[in-house]
Amino acid sequence: ETGVTQTPRHLVMGMTNKKSLKCEQHLGHNAMYWYKQSAKKPLELMFVYNFKEQTENNSVPSRFSPECPNSSHLFLHLHTLQPEDSALYLCASSQMSGGTQYFGPGTRLLVL
Amino acid sequence: TQLLEQSPQFLSIQEGENLTVYCNSSSVFSSLQWYRQEPGEGPVLLVTVVTGGEVKKLKRLTFQFGDARKDSSLHITAAQPGDTGLYLCAGLGGNTGKLIFGQGTTLQVKP
């Protein structure tokens, strides 16, 4: 099983839909992250979880709702998104918060 | 606010040429990481540099961390089409523990 997996890899949703992104890490890490990657912009950190506790919310709109049931799984629940939310959403994990991060392949999201 | 400026933002070269990508900041980082990202995939870690002045080599790639730990460079010798991709530098803020990413350098190596 590869280090960090994300599902789905591609998602198209309307502005009134509710969907969830899933991330799973098989590295035994204790910290997990959600990033947003838009064209021609640096990766934007969204959320950080350390030992299942949220330690960072980088002023993310409430239409994005993270969930971390255990150290191996991280979800991003999406509802009433806007077209400008279309981007590549990347999950990463590290041994501890602030450690070297390993990324998943991302979910390419298109909001219509 | 800590920022990392990467240059150039886009580079298109012929196979066999050498190139250098720069990553600069006015802030000090406790470590700096370089990633390579291919279209439709997540960034893959290439190297982490920690000590000021440190030089690390990965086959044809040479990474250097500035003496003051504010900047870094990536030099590729005899580039190959397989080197094509987006190269990202990311600095770990000593106080925040957060990774700060540069905007990336898109490299295209033509056969």
Per-residue pLDDT reduced to its tens digit, B49-98: 999 999 999 999 999 999 999 999 999 999 999 999 999 999 987 666 78
From B35, B98, B102, residue closest to A45, measured CB to CB: B98
From B42, B48, B101, residue closest to A105, measured CB to CB: B42
Chain mean pLDDT for chain B: 93
- Tell me the C-alpha distance between A7 and A4, whole Å: 10
Contacts of A33 (CB under 8 A, 6+ apart): A45, A46, A47, A48, A49, A91, A92, A93, A94, A101
Q: Is A90 within 8 Å of B42 when comparing Cβ atoms?
A: yes
Residue A106 touches partner B, C-beta closer than 8 Å = yes
The b/e string for B32-51 (b: 16+ C-beta within 10 A; e otherwise) is: bbbbbbeeebbbebbbbbee
Instruction: Tell which B residues from 3 to 22 touch A, by Cβ distance under 8 Å.
Output: 4
- Tell me the C-alpha distance between A104 and A107, whole Å: 9
Q: Is the predicted pLDDT of residue B1 greater than 90, yes or no?
A: no
Residues of chain B contacting residue A105, judged by C-beta atoms under 8 Å apart: 40-42
From A40, A42, A56, residue closest to B101, measured CB to CB: A42
Q: Is the predicted pLDDT of residue B20 greater than 70, yes or no?
A: yes
Q: Which of A3-12, A68-77, B34-43 has the lowest mean pLDDT?
A: B34-43
Strands A10-13 and A107-111: parallel
Question: Residues of chain A with pLDDT > 90: what percent?
Answer: 80
Q: Is A42 within 8 Å of B45 when comparing Cβ atoms?
A: no
Chain mean pLDDT for chain A: 93
What is the count of residue pairs from A and B with beta carbons less than 8 Å apart?
A: 46
Angle at B45 between CA B91 and CA A87, to 5 degrees: 80
Mean pLDDT of B21-35: 93
- Tell me the C-alpha distance between B92 and B34, whole Å: 11
> Most A CBs within 10 Å: which of B1, B24, B99, as the mutation test of the A interface?
B99
State the CB neighbour count (10 A cutoff) for residue A6.
21
- Looking at the DSSP assignment, which residues form a beta bridge with residue A49? A32, A54
Residue B91 touches partner A, C-beta closer than 8 Å = no
- Tell me the C-alpha distance between A31 and A28, whole Å: 9
Name the E strands within chain A: 4-7, 10-13, 18-25, 31-37, 44-50, 53-57, 64-70, 73-79, 87-94, 102-103, 107-111
Q: Is A98 within 8 Å of B41 when comparing Cβ atoms?
A: no
pLDDT of residue A39: 85
Q: Please give, one letter per residue, the 3-state secondary structure of chain B.
A: CCCCEEECCEEEEECCCCEEEEEECCCCEEEEEEEEECCCCCCEEEEEECCCCCEEEECCEEEEECCCCCEEEEEECCCCHHHCEEEEEEEEECCCCCEEECCCEEEEEEC
Query: Nearest residue on chain B to A4, judged by CA atoms?
Result: B42
User: Closest Cα to residue B37, out of A83, A71, A92?
Assistant: A92
| Structure confidence by residue, pLDDT tens digits, A42-68 | 899 999 999 999 998 889 999 999 999
Q: Can you read off the two tokens belonging to residue B14?
A: 């012929």
From B35, B41, B97, residue closest to A97, measured CB to CB: B97
Query: Nearest residue on chain B to A6, judged by CA atoms?
Result: B42
